[in-house]
Amino acid sequence: MGFERERERERELQREREIQIDPDGSVRSGTVPALVERLTTHEQGDPTFIKAFLMTFKSFTTVDDLFNLLVQRFWIRPPPKLTTTEREEWGKLKQHVIRIRVLNTFKSMVVDDDVLEKDDLFVLDRLKEFITADEVSKFPAAKQLLMLIERAQKGGDSMIKMVTAPQGVPPPPIVPKSSKKLKLLDIEPLELARQLTIMESQLYQRVRPMECLQRASEQRTENIDNIAVIIQTSNKIALWAVESVLSKEDSWRRAAAVKHLINVADQCRVLNNFSTMAAITAGLNTPPIRRLEQTWEQVNQGSMVQFGACETIIDSNKNFIKYRAMMTSVIPPCVPFIAIFLLTLQFIQDSNPDNLQGSLVNFRKWQMASEVINDIKRWQAPFNFHTIPSIQAYIEESLNAISDTQDSSERLWNISLEREPRERAMGLFVATPTTPETPPIKQPPRERKNSENQTHPPNESKKSSDKSHRDRIIPPDEDMRRLFQECKIGVRRANLLSEALAATPEELKTPAISVRVR
């Protein structure tokens, strides 16, 4: 008996070495087999751990390996030298419970559209073979699982489920009166905001948890994922706002376009579409638009108040504290500013190692990541608006016409100079562009009366020149913070004439339309 107790104690110590539990009962780290054992424990389960594990396991193991470990767990055998009574008790209180939890884990993998991706569906054949074995097929849970597998295999891509449409009558649409080809000012700001919200919401609902994890850990494939599509769309909306203003030759027409776009952004804010709101706001805050003093002088105070409300939400001070505080009271549906989530995931990735003490998976890291992803998923609900084909066609055509290339920044800056040349702006507002690639122009000491508190980005020339162009956005990194810090109304309205006069032609030709994210 003493020998058996010693062996049991040794096994207990081995388990303690393979998994670390924090005082609050949460898992800090563990080997993959130990985590799977925790996942299917015969003791009281931890729903938070189970959900986090299934959402993130592909970051530290594979679908095949998880399947093998779960099957091995199902065939757990009793300890040696148990009496008949002890064996029966062990089978009832431990083995049976573990087997049920293994089958329930498999069920979650099949029915939860966040677990198995399209490329993982091969495991369904292995799972089907396993649950049709004689001893397994006797379990009622196995029979139910078999039906779910067959349904999933017949449905194929239907495993990627979209949220069902909300109930209730949508608000009456505001259909444009013009039967001709639509222009920006033909569309009521509220309805344009609704149609942009429909488009952005559909894009946001397609984001998958694994895409978030891959982007945070820089394990992205060559394929363009759904997050990249959102990033591209945000860039195009920002550029569309710039083009919509600069396409007007007369300053009063440009001012009308600015006011209309501000109204659209503000309506997006009211509708909880913070993605489009941020993109339009960023577009109107780019140097080619900021410098148009004759244009901005004709924008009324009411529009500037609306614009200020949008800018306040995406103020980057204190890690976007105002935006984060506001989101705690927002009720779905909502299209959030996805850059904040990417920033948080990147911070988790950079601040926490994948493994602790050698082979122990740092599960606390993936627990934190799963909480962010759950927050992303929380907002994946559709809006209850009528789709207006003519406006959707206008949006699609407008965004498709946008050329998001490296040359577009210089082109738009040159158009801005044509609209309001610098030499005609003596004594008025003239702004200089700043970009991550171009250092700001130093202000002469005698002109620093109102600029002691201004901050400028350091020179980051060529820092991101080799990044994929599809990753450009109003992004979750230091460049994004600088962009929003520099784009406040006070900075836009400040008199920077001395900087413009001191700048070289090349420095004035480099606007900052977009910035980059890892």
Question: E strands, 265-393, where?
Answer: 355-356, 360-361
Sheet holding 360-361, edge to edge: 19-21, 27-30, 360-361, 355-356
Helices (H) and strands (E) in the chain, counts: 26, 6
Say whether pTM exceeds 0.75. yes
20-55 core/surface letters (b: 16 or more CB in 10 A; e: else): beeeeeebbbbebebbbbbbbbbeeebeebbbbbbb
Q: What is the pLDDT along the chain (518 residues), one digit of tens a residue?
A: 455 556 555 666 666 689 999 999 999 999 999 999 999 999 988 999 999 999 999 999 999 999 999 999 999 999 888 899 999 999 999 999 999 999 999 999 999 988 998 889 999 999 999 999 989 999 999 999 999 999 988 875 444 444 454 568 999 999 998 878 999 999 999 999 999 999 999 999 999 998 988 876 656 555 678 999 999 999 999 999 999 999 999 999 999 999 999 999 999 999 999 999 999 999 999 999 999 999 999 999 999 999 999 999 999 998 899 999 999 999 999 999 999 999 999 899 999 999 998 889 999 999 999 999 999 999 999 999 999 999 999 999 999 999 777 678 899 999 999 999 986 544 444 444 443 333 333 333 333 334 333 334 334 443 343 433 333 333 344 444 443 343 333 333 323 222 332 333 333 333 333 333 33
Q: Give the residue among 455, 453, 405, 413 at the shortest CA–CA distance from 432.
A: 413
Tell me how far apart the alpha carbons of residues 209 and 373 are, in angstroms, rounded to a whole number: 6
Query: Which are the contacts of 191, defined by CB distance < 8 A and separation ≥ 6?
Result: 173, 174, 175, 176, 388, 391
Q: What domains are defined for the chain?
A: 2-158 (1.20.870.10), 184-400 (1.10.840.10), 406-452+463-516 (no CATH)
- Per-residue pLDDT, 514: 37
- Per-residue pLDDT, 500: 30
